[in-house]
Amino acid sequence: MTVMRFALAAILVVHGVAHLVGFVVPWQLAKLEETPYKTTLLGGRLDVGDTGIRFNGLLWLLAGLGFVVSGAALMLLAPWWARFTSVVAACSLALAVAGWPDSRIGVPIDLLILAYLLIGASLGWLSALGI
């Protein structure tokens, strides 16, 4: 179904764009009240310093780009989109857990994406998307 495929692709792209916060704050390209600059992960338990938090920011950027690619791959009916999206969502989930509590909104979104892919594959929902 084209509408469902478009909706899921849009969700993936929007989630990817949301990942930009995890990049621009550690690189101090933007100051956001909701997400202040800090050099810690795991709820402040692990201080990774300026270099470490920038590296973490790059990982957020890569995951965001991965979601944009996933959305595009889905729209283009690429046969590998579901496996690729699963890997990207798992990496995103790990980043969100490490960035807790600032990234708490990403945890359920990544879990929903992974659940949709897992359940969708077993129930045939993915083939109903036209793939």
Q: What is the pLDDT of residues 56-105, one digit of tens each?
A: 999 999 999 999 999 999 999 999 999 999 999 999 999 999 999 899 99
| Residue ranges per structural domain of the chain | 2-128
Sign of CA dihedral 130, 66, 22, 101: positive
pLDDT of residue 33: 85
| Total-model pTM | 0.91
Largest CA distance in the chain: 47
**Extended beta strands in 7-130, E state:** 40-41, 46-47
Residue where the block lists tokens 């791959």: 73
- CA–CA gap between residue 68 and residue 121 (Å, rounded): 21
Torsion of CA 8, 10, 11, 13, to 10 degrees: 120
1-53 tens-digit pLDDT: 588 889 999 999 999 999 999 999 999 999 888 888 999 999 999 999 999 99
How many helices (DSSP H) and strands (DSSP E) are in the chain? 6, 2
